[in-house]
Structure 1
Amino acid sequence: MASHGPAQKMTARAGGPLVGNANVPGDKSISHRSLILGAMAVGETRISGLLEGQDVLDTAKAMAAFGAEVTQLGDGEWSVHGVGVGGFAEPEDVIDCGNSGTGVRLIMGAMATSPITATFTGDASLRSRPMGRVTDPLALFGARAVGRDGGRLPMTIVGAKAPVPVDYRTPMASAQVKSAVLLAGLNAPGQTIVTEAAATRDHTERMLRGFGAEVTSERCDDGFRITLTGQPELRPQTIAVPRDPSSAAFPVCAALIVPGSDVLVPNIGLNPTRAGLFTTLREMGADLVYENEREEGGEPVADLRARFSPDMKGIEVPPERAPSMIDEYPVLSVVAAFAEGETVMTDVHELRVKESDRIDAMAVGLRACGVRVDETEDSFTVHGLGAGGVPGGAMAAARLDHRIAMSFLVCGLAAKRPVSVDDAGPIATSFPIFEPLMRGLGATFDRDND
């Protein structure tokens, strides 16, 4: 079973400014998809800049278990010799996806239309998360799923022997669900259609086109319609993974709230379905500038400069922006605590079913730091205390959630008193170099593993 071992307490405290270049890891979403589509192509896909966090490494192991030849060539350099669409072999053992909801849901979709059976599990956090949102549409292709009560892992997927294409409307804004359906549609005849009310991150569609699949996206009366023509022969690719905007969020947000800071994050992916946090921060008055804007590998990228911003104001975040920044609300709520006035975040129920209940985790931790937070089932409001106004002095529960842990460590870098997290171990799942990177910028962290 995936585990990071004993709890690793960490404390962040205010010090000098954060200054320098923050070379964050490769984009996690693109890293997962590079491995999966590389495994479904015919021939060798070469990947550079792959995020080598535990989540992505678990996906690499899974692709090898399904028959692809997956080799690490160097730091961030990987080779995947794929088996073709419909070519997955039946794995000999349970597929352990660790902490990764993206990994397990996309892999389920990729194998669901092949006549094989696979059993999936993960760590305690992943085993608590709902899988019915993916297994329900996969059943329409002809796949069967048997899992624990409530549609939770461990779960066995019996792939469809004679898959049929589907026309599916997602009941929630979820790139994972959309992507699982599209990946399943690769081995189904005819056209598979996914309709979503609000556009979610579109890395899967972009990458499918790059591998040679026929995919169209268009606005329609009830949202956005993506149409995939099934049973293509995917062509291997050479992929340079841009740096992850979700990882960049932490040094960027820290720079905005730590006095005197000036941090440059090079080569950040600015896909419009992922950049909602940066748009929101600028609307709050953040000194956040895009430099050297360009396009690489079909994805918009830029160098992102963040400077201390003592005059930020709370805003109402447009609810339609939620899909483009759903993973960034925890750290946004920290920035909101250092802004003046209320920051209102609505239509974010999805945060309740992430690695933890992120609304509750942030609300409880911020209150312990002296910040007023109001919450409903699908919203929360942070009452900001202005630059330097957060008392801090609390121990926050990470709840096996990497983003909760990193968010409270960012808070501690600007609060009046240090802020601790009970377990920083989960950070390795997505951002294994978080601690040395932040220390290199000037952050003050203390470890206590007793």
Structure 2
Amino acid sequence: MSAKPLISHAAASLSGQVRVPGDKSISHRALMFGALAIGQSSIEGLLEGEDVLRTAAAMRALGAEVTRGGDGRWTLFGRGVGGLAEPEDVLDMGNAGTGARLLMGLVASHPFTSVFTGDASLRSRPMRRVTEPLGRMGAGFVGRSGGRLPLAVIGTASPIPISYELPMPSAQVKSAVLLAGLNTPGTTTVIEREATRDHTELMLRGFGAKLTVEVLANGARAISLTGQPELTGQSIKVPADPSSAAFPVVAALLVAGSAITVQAVGTNPLRCGLYQTLLEMGADITYANARVEGGEPVADLLVRGSELKGVDVPPERAPSMIDEYPILAVAAAFAKGTTRMRGLAELRVKESDRLAAMARGLEAAGVTLEVEGDDLIVHGDGGLPEGGVSVPVNLDHRIAMSFLVMGMASRRPVQIDDASAIDTSFPGFTEMMNGLGAKISRVAE
């Protein structure tokens, strides 16, 4: 795939109404649970980015019937819990880390072997955090050093229920274990010291699984799933992705005179750490028309250009905004005062080492900052950063979009070396932002 360099120039102001693509986390899970349910499921608003389309293809390879209608609605006829079929070929998950890790859990308790691979970015990412608990349940694994892809998952015919305490906050690891527990007799329990996004729990209950959440004496959460339920097909309406909404929201805050509305954004409390932080920084964001769609809270976000101030972001907020730290770092560069983002170890094992990538790019654009261990400290003076840089994004969609947003408000344009990864989560990003008034264009050959 050839690189797609883009350059972002300063915008006069942003205005208009948009709806960003559907929530990626919910889209992955909707496809998986629909493939396990008895009967028909329908999905409205599915994110049709490359990551989710890889999951759709994987569910077909595992025996589910998955089709897209001309109206954009997806229909699935599932195989039932325990009814997945051995795939005839390698499951190529592209850049989809969520899809890969959750699917490993799903197939770990099926008696067949599946082989997973992905693009260069996904093949470099650690999978041992998933394979370790799945191995306790009886699955086997053969892969590269560090448990990296390509990786064969040797499913077990006699899975063992476990009680597993997460060593770090991770909705992906939690979900992988619970998905393995679906086809495991008995009760599988995951204990998390810090609450992570709970889309798996909400959706499993919606499909008919017996799942309980208990708050322990030390404040940890114990999520227990009774294995081998009969899931029944459901109609799912996917809310707009709060992680994707972060980019037009922050762009509107930074570009003076902007006023935009981002429609039907998911406002699940375990996903809204960024918006809480932006409000603390002085952002003019109003939640309007709050409602519940498909079991998830949503609202329209009314956003106006704002003067931001630096804040201290506590480490316990990280699970609710782990994907949004790159765009928060951009906002911090425009704020007045110091913003301290603490406890960002998880950023080092995302699509790229996001902590290092953001620090390098921001410094090159004239921003004063320090990295102390797993903390990122950005010093803003309330003025506009210089910009005028070309940033390597290392196939990381969130790094790419963050620096394009920076270019919309910095003194000089900001260029990225390759925008091709953006389609993994936000197809149509450039067109949507330009429709609001941004000035993003291809770089002349």
Same fold (TM > 0.5): yes
- The match for 1:433 is 428
Q: Which residue of 2 aligns with 1:70?
A: 66
Q: Tell me which of 308, 315, 319 is aligned to 2:311.
A: 315
Q: Residues of 2 paired with 1:89 and 1:403: CA distance?
A: 34
Q: Which residue of 1 aligns with 2:138?
A: 142
Distance 1:397 1:133 in 2: 28
Counterparts of 1:298-377 in structure 2 under 5 Å? 298-310=295-307, 312-377=308-373
Cα distance, 1:108 vs structure 2: 0.5
The amino acid of 2:139's aligned partner reads A
1:165 aligns with 2:161: yes
**SS in structure 2 at match of 1:418:** strand
Distance 2:199 2:304 in 1: 29
Tell me the amino acid that sits aligned with residue 380 of structure 2: G
Q: 2:278 aligned with 1:281, yes or no?
A: yes
Is 1:413–2:408 an aligned residue pair?
A: yes
Q: CA deviation at 1:376?
A: 2.6
Letter in 2 for 1:418: P
Matching residue within 224, 229, 254 for 2:251: 254
Q: Which aligned pairs between 1:44-193 and structure 2 lie closer than 5 A? A: 44-193=40-189
Return the alpha-carbon distance in structure 2 between the equivalents of residues 286 and 121 of structure 1: 41
> Which residue number in structure 1 is paired with residue 34 of structure 2?
38
Runs (5+) with no aligned partner, structure 1: none
Amino acid at match of 1:323: P
Deviation at 1:358, TM superposition (A): 0.3
Displacement over 6 Å in runs of 4+? none
1:265 is aligned to 2:244? no
Deviations 1:302-321 (A, max 9, x none): 000111002x1100112111
Structure 2 length normalisation: TM-score?
0.99
In the TM superposition, residue 340 of structure 1 has moved relative to its aligned partner by 0.5
- One-letter code of the match for 1:109? G
CA RMSD of aligned residues (A): 0.8
Are the counterparts in 2 of residues 373 and 380 from structure 1 also a CA contact under 8 Å? yes
Aligned to 2:199: 203
Tell me the alpha carbon deviations over residues 108-134 of structure 1, each in whole angstroms, 9 at most, x when there is no partner: 111110101100000000000000000
1:13 equivalent in structure 2: 9
Q: Report the AA paired with residue 365 of structure 1.
A: G
Residue 449 of structure 1, CA deviation: 6.0
Shift of 1:15: 2.2
Write the deviation string for residues 171-228 of structure 1: whole angstroms up to 9, x where unpaired: 1110000000000000001110000110000000000000000111121134111010
More displaced 10-residue stretch of structure 1: 57-66 or 293-302: 293-302
**Cα distance in 2 between the residues matched to 1:181 and 1:449:** 47
Q: 2:293 corresponds to which residue?
A: 296
Q: Name the SS of the counterpart of 2:249 in structure 1.
A: helix
Sequence identity percentage: 61
Tell me, in whole angstroms, the C-alpha distance in 2 between the residues paired with 1:375 and 1:218.
37
CA deviations 1:24-60 (Å, max 9, x no partner) are 0000000000000000111111001000000000000
2:72 & 2:150 partners in 1: Cα distance?
A: 30
Alignment partner, residue 394 of structure 1:
389
Question: How far off is 1:385 after superposition?
Answer: 2.8
* Separation in structure 1 between the aligned mates of residue 372 and residue 396 of structure 2, nearest angstrom: 21
Deviation, structure 1 residue 75 = 4.8
Alignment equivalent of 2:190, drawn from 181, 191, 194: 194
Report SS of the residue matched to 1:361: helix
Q: Distance in 2 between matches of 1:263 and 1:132?
A: 42
* Kept in 2: contact 1:287–1:307 (CA 8 A): yes
* Alpha-carbon distance in structure 2 between the residues aligned to 1:152 and 1:22: 38
Structure 2 unaligned segments of length 5 or more: list them.
none
Partner AA of 2:287 in structure 1: Y
For 2:402 and 2:70, how far apart are their aligned partners in 1?
A: 31
Over residues 407-447 of structure 1, what are the superposed CA-to-partner deviations in whole Å (9 max), with x where a residue is unaligned? 00000000000000000110000001101110110000120
1:374 Cα deviation (Å)?
0.6
Q: Tell me, what secondary structure is at the counterpart of 2:271?
A: coil
- In the alignment, the residues of structure 2 paired with residue 217 and residue 297 of structure 1 have an alpha-carbon distance, to the nearest angstrom, of 20
| Amino acid in the other structure paired with 1:124 | A
Distance (Å, rounded) in 2 between the aligned partners of 1:343 and 1:130:
29
**Distance in 2 between the 1:405 and 1:122 partners?**
20
Matches of 1:295 and 1:283 in 2, distance apart? Answer: 25
Q: CA deviation at 1:377?
A: 3.0
Alpha-carbon distance in structure 2 between the residues aligned to 1:84 and 1:341: 55
SS in 2 for 1:155: strand
Q: Which amino acid aligns with 2:434?
A: R
For residues 24 and 345 of structure 2, the distance between their equivalents in structure 1, rounded to whole angstroms, comes to: 22
